[in-house]
Amino acid sequence: MSKIFKDYLADFDKKFKDLDFIDKAFHEKELGVVSFASKAKTKDTSGNFSEEYIRTRFIYAVVNSGFFPKEILCIEFNIPKGNNGKALKPDIVAFKNTDWLKVYEEAKANKNFKKLRQNYLVIFETKKNNKSLESAIENQLRPALAENESKERVFGVYFDDKPDVLVFKKIGNSPIRRFDESIELSGSGIINLNYDKRDSLLDFPTYQDFENNNKSISDVTKLTTNALDAIDESAFEDFLAELKRIADKEKPKHSESDLIVEFLTLKVFDEKRSKRDKSNLKFYIEPTEKKSDGLAEKSFRERIDKLYKDARREYVNVLSTPYFSYDSQFRPSNSNEERFLIALVESLQKRAILKAKNESFNQIIFNNFGNDKQKADNGQFFTPIPVVKSIIQMLNPVKGEELCDPCCGICDFPAMAFRHAHRKDEEYPPNASHYYGFDIENNNLKLAELNLVLNGDGGAVLKNMNSISQKLLENGSILKVGEFTTNNFKTETWQHKDDTEKELKKFKIIATNPPFGKGRDLKTGKEGKWDAAKETVELYETYKVKPTPNSKGQITLPKSMDMGVIFLENAYKLLEEGGRMGIILSNSIASISEWENVRKWLIERMRIVALFDLPANTFGETGVATTVIVAYKPKNDEKYLLDNDYEIFIKEVESIGYEVKTVKRTITFRPQFVINEDTFEHTSKLDEDFSSMQYEFQEFLKRQELEIKNAFNIHKI
Question: Do residues 448 and 461 make contact, with C-beta atoms less than 8 angstroms apart?
Answer: no
Share of the chain above pLDDT 90, in %: 45
Average pLDDT for 322-350: 93
The pTM is what?
0.71
Beta pairing partners, 120? 95
CA pair distance 230, 699, nearest whole angstrom: 36
Q: Are 134 and 195 in contact (CB under 8 A)?
A: yes
Alpha-carbon torsion (406, 411, 413, 418), positive or negative:
positive
CA 521/CA 345 separation, integer angstroms: 43
The confidence band for 1, taking pLDDT boundaries of 50, 70 and 90, is: very low
Of the candidate ranges 38-42, 436-440, 642-646, the one whose mean pLDDT is the lowest? 642-646
pLDDT, residue 60, reads 95
> What pLDDT was estimated at residue 379?
43
Name the band, by pLDDT with cuts 50, 70 and 90, for residue 79.
confident
Q: What is the per-residue pLDDT across 437-463, written as a single tens digit (0 to 9) for each? A: 999 988 778 778 777 777 766 678 899
* Most confident region among 252-266, 280-294, 422-436, 513-527 by mean pLDDT: 280-294
The pLDDT confidence band at residue 622, using thresholds 50, 70 and 90, is low
- For residue 251, name the pLDDT band (cuts at 50, 70, 90): confident
Which of 127-136, 326-335, 424-433 has the highest average model confidence (pLDDT)?
326-335
Identity of the residue numbered 701:
L
Residue 394 pLDDT grade (very low, low, confident, very high; cuts 50, 70, 90): very high
| More confident of the two residues 717 and 350 | 350
Surface-to-core class of residue 622, CB atoms within 10 Å of its CB (0-12 exposed, 13-18 middle, 19+ buried): middle
pLDDT in tens, 185-239: 765 556 778 888 999 998 899 999 999 888 888 889 999 888 888 776 666 767 7
Percent of the chain with pLDDT over 70: 88
Cα dist from 690 to 175, 187, 188, 677, whole Å: 25, 12, 11, 21
Question: Going by C-beta distance under 8 Å and a sequence separation of 6 or more, which residues neighbour residue 186?
Answer: 192, 357
Residue 31: its pLDDT value, please?
A: 93
Residue 375 pLDDT exceeds 50: no
Backbone φ/ψ region at 259: left (φ over 0), alpha (ψ -120 to 50), beta: alpha
| Average pLDDT over all residues of the chain | 85
pLDDT: which is higher, 497 or 443: 497
